[in-house]
Amino acid sequence: MASVQTVAAAKPLCTCFRVRKLTRLMSQRYDQALAPAALNLNQYSILRRVGATPRSIGEFARDLGMDRSTLSRDLKPLLAAGWVATATGEDARQRRVHITAAGKRAIARAIPLWQAAQDGIERELGHGGLLALHEQLDLAIAQLQGSRA
């Protein structure tokens, strides 16, 4: 039987661990940069993509690659801040979400902060490295989404 040290030293090929670690490191950078705008990366991402045309939370969650209940929970502070609003959809049970004027102002304040974080990551990874990372991530996303269909 292998010892714990031997197993730990084997450096297994766990893709999920590596992607999650990279995600945490990236998120920390963006969260720090966005703090002056009172946003975290997740909130920024939601606000950037919600749009002015109301759409259902389920549709929006699919576009973000999120679970509907997770998105509903993540929308609560944005609703409380007045940055997004919801309205009843075609069905009284359906809620549709859209960005408000205050949300547009919050995004306008946050974009330069996000860009500074983006530029810093590009400097560290190099332009070619960043493009290669994006290409690999886009390919993996497309393949994994396609395999779920």
Query: What pairs with residue 88 in β-bridges?
Result: 95
Q: Per-domain residue ranges for the chain?
A: 15-148
Q: Quick one: average pLDDT of 128-137?
A: 95
- Whose tokens are 């269909």? That residue is 149
Both tokens of residue 46? 């939601």
pLDDT digits 0-9 by tens, 89-126: 777 777 899 999 999 999 999 999 999 999 999 999 99
Residue at 5: amino acid letter: Q
The CATH number of 15-148 is which of 1.20.1740.10, 3.40.50.720, 1.10.10.10, 3.40.50.2300?
1.10.10.10
Q: What percent of the chain has pLDDT over 70?
A: 91
Residue at 109: amino acid letter: R
Cβ neighbours of 113 (radius 10 Å) = 18
Both tokens of residue 11? 């450096």
Rounded to two decimals, the pTM is 0.79
